[in-house]
Amino acid sequence: MNDQELDDVLAVLRSDDGSHLGSVSGRVLGQIEAQGRRRVMEWSAIAAAAALVAVGLFLIPLRPEARLAVESPVVPQAPAFAYVSPPRAVPAIRRRPVLATVSSRKAGPLEVRMQTDDPDVLIIWLVDGEEERGNQ
């Protein structure tokens, strides 16, 4: 468009009384209102669907539990009074003392070593077996 055409359009718009603008604006406002009502209805439907899904999730379990018939085990009852016999007395086994055997061969004198608190002093006691037997 050149400048002359723009000036012509501008002159037509300035000279217009605005009667046709009122009908256009009314029509446009009606469409905007209809779209607004339609959007409110859409959002209401979405909210209602979301509420139904939420209620459904709480009321219906996601995984149904398998219900098996389980019998409780039977536990026998103990008698009211239990009679227990006393334990039998086990006789004690008496062992005979083992006597030391004396060999008949001649052994040297018996040597008894006694230590004292002082590590340098050691007492050695020699016992002759024949003299002891004679005293008995």
pLDDT in tens, 6-53: 888 888 777 766 666 666 777 777 887 877 777 888 888 999 999 998
Task: Provide mean pLDDT across the span 75-90.
Answer: 77
Top pLDDT among 126 and 82 is at 126
Residues 6+ apart with CB under 8 A from 46: none
Looking at residue 51, what is its pLDDT? 92
Looking at residue 46, what is its pLDDT? 92
CB 115 within 8 A of CB 124: no
Looking at residue 67, what is its pLDDT? 61
Task: Provide mean pLDDT across the span 115-126.
Answer: 86
